Amino acid sequence: MAKIAKVIVDIPLMQTDKPFSYKIPENLQEVIAEGSRVHVPFGKSNRLLQGFVMEILEEKDQGLKLIKEVLDAEPVLNQEQLFLADQMRKTVFSYKISILKSMVPSLLNSSYDRLLKPAPTLSQEEGELLFAGKKKIYFSHLAKEEQLRSLHLAQAGKITVDYVAKDRKNIKTQKYYEINHLNLADLEISKRAKKRQELKTYLLEHSQPRLLSELYHLFSRDVVRYFIDENVLKITEQAVNRSSGHFEKISQSYFLDLNEEQRTAVERIAADIGSAKTPYLLEGITGSGKTEVYLHIIDRTLKMGKTAIVLVPEISLTPQMTNRFISRFGSQVAIMHSGLSDGEKYDEWRKIKSKQAKVVVGARSAIFSPLENIGAIIIDEEHEATYKQESNPRYHARDVALLRAKYHQAVLVLGSATPSIESRARADRHVYQLLRLTQRANPLAQTPKVEIIDFRDYIGQQEVSNLTPFLIDKIKERLAKKEQVVLMLNRRGYSSFIMCRDCGYVDNCPNCDISLTLHMDTKTMNCHYCGFYKKIPLHCPNCGNNKIRYYGTGTQKAYDELLQVIPEARLIRMDVDTTRKKGAHEKLLTTFEKQEADILLGTQMIAKGLDFPNVTLVGVLNADTALNLPDFRSSERTFQLLTQVAGRAGRADKPGEVLIQTYNPDHYAIQLAKAQDYEAFYQYEMKIRKSLSYPPYYFTVGLTLSHKEEQVAVKKSYEIMHLLKEGLTNKIKILGPTPKPIARTHNLYHYQIIVKYRFEENMENVLNHILGLTQDKENKGLRLIIDCEPQNFM
């Protein structure tokens, strides 16, 4: 009998989507456990791959390969996470390995390389050229031509190639010094060694242990080295956290007295911590104090010795937001967001893993935080599409949260002013318990008055294209009163592009069927799909004349127009261009918060979370742009966005007003956003979903097939449609195959099939079968994406 580990290796293919058996060498038996990260030899070439140990068994040894090494002192995944990966694999049609990898920080995913060594047949000259005197070199360190040369030499048998896997993990440490006072007293220093004398005096005066780097600021390395060699200074190294240095600066804040509705919510939810059965949907209007409810729930959770996760959309993860948690719970909080470097993310992860952090506040992937003993999971703005990952593995954080909550009997709270139609419907069927907050929490605040401006009334009378005279007057009124204005430009679905006025040529991406977007800051034309970019052309690429014109009403244009009509206004523009630099987002918001600007003009990113008491007017420049997108959720998204942005007005004692400019004033999403009536919107939208057989009445799966030749993509799409029809019942409804709304990107043609279904026992099997087929040799070059409950039909 031998100890055998079942390992999932780092190859995302159907053939490797199962554990492989390896023997655990004697000397590693103590350290390897379920959830350990290991390097194992794989395949004929025995190249080293990273893998995760799923299970350890006692079995007969049948000449199995040995595990090469174990990468961490403790397993990186715990039993719950292994269980989670099993469960997720049923609805996320990505391979187990990509699910496991998404659960650990990216620094814990090994990189692969090839180690080259000269063989005896390598001539001295060739050897010198490639190896330059070294005994071995890494392939990745070579220049392009050298890499090619090395491949030829390997083919000729003149060098040997070993595949190696490299752990990228690194821990940042700081060195400290301690003084051995006896040795210091005894240390004799000659009179001429002035610097040494100075250091001795310094150490006698500063006897506490300090950072070694501080000594290096004052004395040269040679001088310090002498004291170390003489055993006067003892150096120790300590791991430091790269990300959470700024907690001390945030002052403590106190719990607010809850109002009646808030108290009811907190009491009901808190009673369930540790024994929860049914998740809660907390439907609270903007400013109703949902965050304060979350803070109280977390407080109760911590008092029971348990931990909590709070998810917020990436865009709302502003310092304003995270400080509310840090100021209550201090260093028990870990923040996980995409702005952190890989090293910082790894350090936050270690802080959680080592149980130092008990509250994790983060974006989507924070749902995988290795917390134990979870008492509460909170998802704020639960309707946000960003909770669904748009690349493999395509999981929804809400589904993962449901699994984790069940595992821990933790309370799950889904909060929103505008819950997704699916979640709200679940509350109707008592799958979730509905709790409502119907009043603004600040007793002085009132819900803002919303008005609609029909853009069509102003056609031809406007001085500028983005702002009606009515809105301009209102803005001026507010500025006169020294109040602040938020203006939102809904950018979804269009962007600025260039067109030739003579021949009508639009500059498109050479790889994708989409026009290039103008970026004034970098003076380039960029493709938002494949990353292609080029300089802004001065002449039309088609006819050569210079009548090129810039089109589109991006924020830049709206900004220029505002300056033109209200030159005295102090403006802040917030969009992807102005927030690309690290910390820029925060800086702009702080400027606005300190009232050093009058108007905050931005895209969707300003719609959420912001809580500025002096904002009394919110203007939506173009409410419609998302309404006509080919997506059944376009009305829902529009309603949500308008409600969210309207919620930024009148949050304190000054009454707020909201103006919505639109070409579709009678559309129900806009009318009901004006009425700020979520419940009415929900009822209306449900009728539409029912008549069109969309969620929540039906489940959906989207399959996207891509190939560089359009005929192949079409042919394979029909083959797959037939497989779906064969494998499933005749109750399913299939849409397509049709070209995707953006039919070609990255030089690939995309076709999509949407399956709508209610109960299909065979669904998982059929989809796995299809996923496996695309890896057959005859399907080389074909790409397939299976997306359960797609959130985005573009």
- Sites of contact with Zn ion (CB under 5 A): 509, 511-512, 527, 529-530, 532
- Is there a contact between 500 and 543 (Cβ–Cβ < 8 Å)? yes
Nearer to ligand ADP, 282 or 755 (CB): 282
Nearer to ligand ADP, 270 or 352 (CB): 270
The owner of tokens 């470097």 is 341
Chosen from ligand ADP, Zn ion, none, partner binding at 286 (C-beta under 5 to 8 Å by type): ligand ADP
Q: Rule CB under 6 A: choose which of 23, 37, 290, 654 binds ligand ADP.
A: 290
Nearer to ligand ADP, 72 or 611 (CB): 611
611 belongs to the binding site for ligand ADP (CB under 6 A): yes
Chosen from Zn ion, ligand ADP, none, partner binding at 701 (C-beta under 5 to 8 Å by type): none
Chosen from Zn ion, ligand ADP, none, partner binding at 664 (C-beta under 5 to 8 Å by type): none
**Which of 582, 789, 578 is CA-nearest to residue 698?**
789
Neighbours of 456 (CB within 10 A): 10
Q: What is the spatial distance between Cα 730 and Cα 547, in angstroms, rounded to a whole number?
A: 57
Q: Rule CB under 6 A: choose which of 258, 402, 530, 686 binds ligand ADP.
A: 258
- CB of residue 612 to ligand ADP, shortest distance in Å: 10
Q: What is the spatial distance between Cα 399 and Cα 88, in angstroms, rounded to a whole number?
A: 9
Instruction: Name the strand (E) or helix (H) holding 159.
Output: strand 159-166
Token pair for 447 = 């819900």
Nearer to ligand ADP, 321 or 374 (CB): 321
- Which residues lie below 8 Å from residue 605, measured CB to CB, with a gap of 6+? 315, 574, 575, 579, 585
- CB of residue 294 to ligand ADP, shortest distance in Å: 8
Identify whether 319 is preceded by a cis peptide bond (ω within 30 of 0): no
Chosen from Zn ion, ligand ADP, none, partner binding at 288 (C-beta under 5 to 8 Å by type): ligand ADP
Binding mask 531-570 for ligand ADP (x = CB under 6 A): ----------------------------------------
Q: Which residues pair with 617 in a beta bridge?
A: 485, 657
Chosen from ligand ADP, Zn ion, none, partner binding at 614 (C-beta under 5 to 8 Å by type): none
Chosen from ligand ADP, Zn ion, none, partner binding at 163 (C-beta under 5 to 8 Å by type): none
Q: What is the spatial distance between Cα 330 and Cα 327, in angstroms, rounded to a whole number?
A: 6
- CB of residue 518 to Zn ion, shortest distance in Å: 15
Chosen from Zn ion, ligand ADP, none, partner binding at 600 (C-beta under 5 to 8 Å by type): none
289 belongs to the binding site for ligand ADP (CB under 6 A): yes
DSSP for 219-258 reads S-HHHHHHHHHTTSEEEEEEE--SS-TTGGGSPP--PPPP
Q: What is the spatial distance between Cα 468 and Cα 460, in angstroms, rounded to a whole number?
A: 11
C-alpha distance across the termini of the chain, in Å? 55
Cα 716 from chain centroid (whole Å): 32
CA angle 624, 626, 632 (to 5 degrees): 120
Nearer to ligand ADP, 283 or 399 (CB): 283
Chosen from ligand ADP, Zn ion, none, partner binding at 509 (C-beta under 5 to 8 Å by type): Zn ion
Nearer to ligand ADP, 35 or 284 (CB): 284
Chosen from ligand ADP, Zn ion, none, partner binding at 693 (C-beta under 5 to 8 Å by type): none
43: region left, alpha or beta (phi > 0 left; psi from -120 to 50 alpha): left
Q: What is the spatial distance between Cα 107 and Cα 97, in angstroms, rounded to a whole number?
A: 15
Indicate the SS3 state at residue 113.
strand
Q: Rule CB under 6 A: choose which of 78, 291, 439, 745 binds ligand ADP.
A: 291
Taking CB under 6 A as the criterion, which residues in 259-288 touch ligand ADP?
Answer: 259, 262, 284, 286-288
- Is there a contact between 749 and 718 (Cβ–Cβ < 8 Å)? no
- CB of residue 468 to ligand ADP, shortest distance in Å: 29
Nearer to Zn ion, 31 or 576 (CB): 576
Nearer to Zn ion, 163 or 529 (CB): 529
- CB of residue 504 to Zn ion, shortest distance in Å: 21
Chosen from Zn ion, ligand ADP, none, partner binding at 512 (C-beta under 5 to 8 Å by type): Zn ion
What is the amino acid identity at position 474? K
The owner of tokens 């250091």 is 199
Q: In the sheet where 748-757 sits, what is the strand order?
A: 733-745, 748-757, 699-707, 783-788
Chosen from ligand ADP, Zn ion, none, partner binding at 527 (C-beta under 5 to 8 Å by type): Zn ion
Nearer to ligand ADP, 365 or 442 (CB): 442
Nearer to Zn ion, 532 or 694 (CB): 532
Q: Specify the stretch interacting with ligand ADP by CB under 6 A; choose among 252-260, 453-461, 520-528, 743-751.
A: 252-260
Token pair for 742 = 């953006």
Q: Specify the stretch interacting with ligand ADP by CB under 6 A; choose among 290-298, 401-409, 494-502, 714-722.
A: 290-298
Binding mask 438-477 for ligand ADP (x = CB under 6 A): ---xx-----------------------------------
Tell me the backbone φ, ψ of residue 704, rounded to 5 degrees: -120, 125
Nearer to ligand ADP, 35 or 287 (CB): 287
The answer to whether 512 is annotated as binding is: yes
Chosen from Zn ion, ligand ADP, none, partner binding at 532 (C-beta under 5 to 8 Å by type): Zn ion
* Burial status of residue 773 (CB atoms within 10 A of its CB: 0-12, 13-18, 19 or more): middle
- CB of residue 742 to Zn ion, shortest distance in Å: 10
The answer to whether 788 is annotated as binding is: no
* Burial status of residue 616 (CB atoms within 10 A of its CB: 0-12, 13-18, 19 or more): buried
Chosen from ligand ADP, Zn ion, none, partner binding at 441 (C-beta under 5 to 8 Å by type): ligand ADP
Q: What is the spatial distance between Cα 524 and Cα 546, in angstroms, rounded to a whole number?
A: 17
- CB of residue 515 to Zn ion, shortest distance in Å: 10
Nearer to Zn ion, 275 or 391 (CB): 391
Cα→Cα distances 55→3, 7, 644, Å:
10, 7, 47
CA angle 100, 410, 386 (to 5 degrees): 55
Nearer to Zn ion, 498 or 724 (CB): 498
Q: Rule CB under 6 A: choose which of 182, 256, 680, 692 binds ligand ADP.
A: 256
Handedness of CA 150, 153, 159, 160 (dihedral sign): positive
137 belongs to the binding site for ligand ADP (CB under 6 A): no
311 belongs to the binding site for ligand ADP (CB under 6 A): no
Counting residues that bind ligand ADP (by CB under 6 A) gives 16
Nearer to Zn ion, 464 or 530 (CB): 530
Q: Rule CB under 6 A: choose which of 17, 292, 344, 575 binds ligand ADP.
A: 292
650: region left, alpha or beta (phi > 0 left; psi from -120 to 50 alpha): left
Q: Report the b/e string of 729-750 with b at 16+ CB within 10 A.
A: eeebeeebbebbeebbbbebbb
- CB of residue 262 to ligand ADP, shortest distance in Å: 6
- SS3 of 519-588: the string is ECCCCEEECCCCCCEEECCCCCCCCCCCCEEEECCCHHHHHHHHHHHCCCCCEEEECCCCCCCCCHHHHH
What is the amino acid identity at position 658? V
Chosen from ligand ADP, Zn ion, none, partner binding at 619 (C-beta under 5 to 8 Å by type): none
- CB of residue 744 to Zn ion, shortest distance in Å: 9
- CB of residue 369 to Zn ion, shortest distance in Å: 35
Chain residues binding ligand ADP by CB under 6 A are 256-259, 262, 284, 286-292, 441-442, 611
Q: Give the annotated binding-site residues.
A: 500, 503, 509, 512, 527, 530, 540, 543
Q: Give the annotated binding-site residues for Zn(2+).
A: 500, 503, 509, 512, 527, 530, 540, 543
